[in-house]
Chains A and B, each alone.
Chain A
Amino acid sequence: MGVTTVDEVAFDVERGKILEFARATLAEDPVHTDPRAARAAGFEDVPATPTHVVVAGHHRDQRGFVDKLGLAYERVVVGSVTWTYLRPVLAGDHLTGVRRVVDDVRKKSLRIVTLETEYTDQHGEVAVRVREALIERGAQS
């Protein structure tokens, strides 16, 4: 199967968005919301919470990519997500994420499409890799 690029996003990692996302996920570690706590803990700037790159949702066409993959929007659920961390994402980073299809299989009435996004920083280094398995249920007869 050929590698297919699904979409590409680019965004700045900002303290305000880190704080919003930390609150929305009930994070209690002050390093995500207080620059002094972050520096005291050894970070150059405020670190994002572990699943912060979900904010890429603001920059994506959530319905468009499902259509592009030929999936039925109303029958698709996310089965699993795996985050691999090469370094913490920090405020001030500029990330570019290219999302590609890495697997596309059928199991009985299910189609399972696995997507991988590598979030590359301003230095060209990968900071976080995200794999998500989308499951499309078969149409009800």
Chain B
Amino acid sequence: MRTPVAVQAGQQLPAREVGPVTQTHIVRFAGAGGDFNPLHHDPDFAAKAGFPGVLAMGQMHAGMLASWLSDWAGVEHLREFEVRFVAPVFLGDVLRFSGEVAAVEDGVAELTLAAVRGEEPVIRARARIVTS
């Protein structure tokens, strides 16, 4: 097993920028995950549901946020990952993932994470990882 990352409270995680989100991101995720709700690929259906266009499934950017986290921490060191969906994500959106170490106790770090579009959060998240 790989050595867990060493962290300190207050430390910032290396940020990642994703996007602009395209229909290709969405259909690739639909195929991977099995979410074929037409809201995510049929513009007419999305318009009838009252949206300005197709929207990404929350699990897409939640999964991107999680993979960004595990790229940094090592997937074997994740203990918990929680996302709250704050706003929908549309085609053309550019997302920025960032995070901070909120606390470290008994070899476990509590992280506060977010995905934002400009200044607006689309996901608020937290995680617990094993640290060295």
- Tell me the residues in window 77-103 of chain B with beta carbons closer than 8 Å to chain A beta carbons: 78-85
- Tell me the residues in window 1-49 of chain B with beta carbons closer than 8 Å to chain A beta carbons: 1-2, 18, 25, 28-29, 31-37, 49
Q: Is B104 an interface residue (CB 8 A)?
A: no
CB distance from A43 to the nearest CB of B (A): 7
Q: Which applies to chain A's interface (DSSP): helix, strand, loop or mixed? A: mixed
A85 and B31 within 8 A (CB): no
**CA–CA, A59 to B83, complex, Å?**
23
When distances are taken between beta carbons in the complex, the residues of chain B under 8 Å from A79 are 84-85
When distances are taken between beta carbons in the complex, the residues of chain B under 8 Å from A17 are 32
- Tell me the residues in window 48-94 of chain A with beta carbons closer than 8 Å to chain B beta carbons: 48-51, 54-60, 62, 74, 77-85, 88
**CA–CA, A49 to B75, complex, Å?**
7
A24 and B63 within 8 A (CB): yes
Q: Is B121 an interface residue (CB 8 A)?
A: no
**CA–CA, A119 to B69, complex, Å?**
22
**CA–CA, A72 to B2, complex, Å?**
46
When distances are taken between beta carbons in the complex, the residues of chain B under 8 Å from A78 are 58-59, 85
Q: Is B108 an interface residue (CB 8 A)?
A: no
Q: Which of A22, A24, A25, A82 contacts B31 (CB 8 A)?
A: A24
Stretch at the interface among A27-35, A96-104, A109-117: A27-35
Closest to A52 in B: B63
Q: A24-B31, A24-B60, A26-B64 are in contact. Are A50 and B71 (CB under 8 A)?
A: no
Q: Is A23 an interface residue (CB 8 A)?
A: yes
B29 and A27 within 8 A (CB): no
Q: Which of A24, A41, A77, A81 contacts B33 (CB 8 A)?
A: A24
- Tell me the residues in window 1-53 of chain A with beta carbons closer than 8 Å to chain B beta carbons: 17, 20-29, 31-32, 41-43, 47-51
When distances are taken between beta carbons in the complex, the residues of chain A under 8 Å from B109 are none
**CA–CA, A27 to B73, complex, Å?**
12
When distances are taken between beta carbons in the complex, the residues of chain B under 8 Å from A88 are 75-76
Closest to B129 in A: A85
B33 and A29 within 8 A (CB): no
Q: Is B115 an interface residue (CB 8 A)?
A: no
CB distance from B50 to the nearest CB of A (A): 10
Known pairs A27-B67, A32-B75, A49-B63 / 15 extra A-B pairs, C-beta < 8 Å = A31-B75, A41-B74, A47-B76, A49-B70, A51-B62, A51-B81, A54-B59, A57-B33, A62-B36, A80-B82, A81-B82, A82-B80, A82-B83, A83-B82, A84-B79
